Structure 1
Amino acid sequence: MIVPHYNDLNGLDACLNALMAQTYPRDRFEIIVGDNNSPVGLDAVCQLAGGRAKVIHAPIKGAGPARNAAVPHARGEILAFTDSDCIPESEWLSEGVKAMEHADFVGGAMTVLVPQDRAKNGAEGFEMVFAFDNRSYVEKQKFTVTANLLCKRDVFTHVGEFRTEVSEDKEWCLRAGDMGYKIGYAAKAVVGHPARADWEQLRKKWQRLNAEGFALFKQRGGKSLVWLLRTWALLPSIPLHSIKILTSPALNGLDEKLKACGMLIRCRLWRFVDGHRLLMQ
């Protein structure tokens, strides 16, 4: 199991606890943490990991390079990727490995984690409805998020490392598909990812996704007019997706739903402006 990490000891500790609680036989898996020059220092990360994981120094910035640095130290025939702020459920590895019998690489289900002791704010409500629809990503777009990706080692070797400055998960999976490898979906291999807690976190997420998505779009020969049409399609999506929020069983009460609608409007308008900025730069 490969876990990229950057300066989040609490998150990494919870992730490692979840990985140690896997039902898959403990003598048949190992955990490799690729630490991305955390300011707390490599010694602190190693001390926290203890005997649970091997920690590798990954000097090149980014989650993709951290994964790339960790892979050569893994000995298994299957590589299972998750993130240090994620909580894989106990059956994650067992179900993911089982799904590998029918595919060359697989993505599992994603859930959004929110605090249970209070009402959801706008950012959390928005994420509950729209974040991490990994089944759709796998079945319709033929990629999986790297927070929940398993692949055969020989496939990874053939496809190559994760690339930077693009949507690394989507780019790697599409590259694998172009080479003829088959992606599968593992509905019972579940990983939880925390919701973005506020607008600033959500904006930073979409700033990164927009920039990486645009770079991948251009890399794969996308036309400027198509990007422009996609950007303008964000505006009519607002009323359509407001209905989705208002009818979502994931949100409790009108207050949570209205706050999520407000965040939807703010996010789509910001993406609309940013989409034009990327096209003009």
Structure 2
Amino acid sequence: MSTPSSDPGSTPPTQGQQAAIIIPHYNDVVRLRTCLAALVPQIAALTQGDGPGPVDLVVIDNGSTQDLDPIRADFPQARFLSEPQKGAAPARNTGVRESTAPCLFFIDADCVPDPDWLKTALDLSGWDGIIGGRVDVFDETPPPRSGAEAFETVFAFPQEQYVTRKNFSVTANLLTTRKVFEDTGPFDGTVVEDSDWCQRAVARGWPIAYHPELGVGHPTRNDWSALRRKWKRTTAENYFAGGTDLVSRLRWALRAGAVLASAPLHIPRVLRHPALAAGERGPCIGVLIRLRVLRAGWMLRQAVFGERPLNT
């Protein structure tokens, strides 16, 4: 088992805080800085006098090679921990274990919370269950959008559908309580950790709800290689989540066919999307078809040959 450690200058959690904000991080200092710059004023606005703030702001670094000293110096309000085991799931588990607040707020290092995100989260907190908030996407590059950016604009983070139809929230914007987390158990990094954890919690009887007033922004992946890496990882996680016995692998092969067939069915969605300019629709359709073909190929290969577990 990995042993987490406090980074130099980190302080222990303050007793009596209402919530812990858990942020896993790996080699994304620029975006982490933007995330913390959005959160710290919200914490300050809720802090009374010279007393402690209402939340424990915890960043868990996953072995970054980038220098974290400047961001530690600029954001003394945050506690920085280290988790040597690779993966956001072990990092999040460490953040929970090394904090004491009864409410747990999960957000990703590359997300930008709305100006009222923390106040909204605190207003919603104390409910033993799971809350998934809205996740909007934004571009970090000037227009026109690349095919990857256009694809993410149309298809990334349908959070309301995830919560209301599939009983999970992405961890980019998820609220829960320590009681629910301890009953459900830790995140599992060998599968799609957010859907697996939420569905385990729901199976144990904990309710889940969608609250669009709780909003964060997430950058679109701006090129094909970034989009490919995301879906390569997600395809592997979903393969293990479905089981690796013979029957499960046969089902996985059939699902590969469904993924391939879904590409033309989703073209009208691209053509109708109001956020895309006319010149962005063609590249988006190209990425849609290319990605579905690639995913189907990965899935068929997994069904036939298997795949090595993640984070091993």
- What SS class does the counterpart of residue 218 from structure 1 fall into? coil
Secondary structure at the aligned position of 1:30 is classed as strand
Distance (Å, rounded) in 2 between the aligned partners of 1:45 and 1:174: 35
Structure 2 residue runs of 5 or longer lacking an equivalent are 1-20, 48-52, 306-312
State whether residues 37 and 58 of structure 1, in contact with CA within 8 Å, keep that contact through their aligned partners in structure 2: yes
One-letter amino acid of the counterpart of residue 35, structure 1: D
2:24 is matched with which residue?
A: 4
Counterpart residue number, 1:60:
85
> Does residue 131 of the first structure (1) align with residue 156 of the second (2)?
yes
Compute the displacement of 1:196 (Å). Answer: 0.8
Q: SS of the counterpart of 1:193? A: strand
Over the aligned positions, Cα root-mean-square deviation in angstroms equals 2.0
Q: Distance in 2 between matches of 1:39 and 1:159?
A: 33
Instruction: Supply the AA of the counterpart residue of 2:120.
Output: E
What secondary structure does 2:176 align onto? strand
Give 3-state SS (helix, strand or coil) of 1:21's partner. Answer: helix
1:45-124 to 2 correspondences below 5 Å: 46-48=72-74, 50-100=75-125, 104-115=129-140, 117-124=142-149
The farther-off stretch of 255-264 and 220-229 is: 220-229
Read off the aligned partner of 2:23 and give its amino acid letter.
V
User: Is the radius of gyration larger for structure 1 or structure 2?
Assistant: 2
Matched residue of 2:168: which SS? Answer: coil
TM-score, length basis structure 1? 0.93
User: Whole-Å Cα distance in 1 between the matches of residues 208 and 73 of structure 2?
Assistant: 37
Give the alignment partner of residue 253 of structure 2, picking from 228, 236, 239: 228
Going from structure 1 to structure 2, the CA distance change for 1:184 and 1:98 (only over 3 Å counts) comes to farther
Deviations 1:165-214 (A, max 9, x none): 11011111111111111111111111111111111111100000000011
Q: How many residues were matched structurally?
A: 279
Which structure 2 residues correspond to residues 1-281 of structure 1 after superposition, within 5 A?
1-22=21-42, 25-26=46-47, 27-41=53-67, 43-44=69-70, 46-48=72-74, 50-100=75-125, 104-115=129-140, 117-218=142-243, 223-253=248-278, 255-281=279-305
Bigger Cα displacement from structure 2, 196-205 vs 50-59: 50-59
More helix as a share of residues: 1
Deviation of residue 73 (structure 1)?
2.7
Kept in 2: contact 1:99–1:185 (CA 8 A): no
* One-letter amino acid of the structure 2 residue matched with residue 33 of structure 1: V
Q: TM-score, normalised by structure 2?
A: 0.84
Q: Distance in 1 between matches of 2:58 and 2:244?
A: 31
In the aligned structure 1, how far is the partner of 2:94 from the partner of 2:126? Answer: 27
SS of residue matched to 1:203: helix
What is the rounded CA distance, in whole Å, between the counterparts of 2:24 and 2:107 in structure 1? 8
1:103 to partner: Cα distance: 5.5
Q: d(CA) in 2 for partners of 1:86 and 1:77?
A: 23
Q: Give the superposition deviation at 1:52.
A: 2.6
Percentage of matched positions with identical amino acids: 39
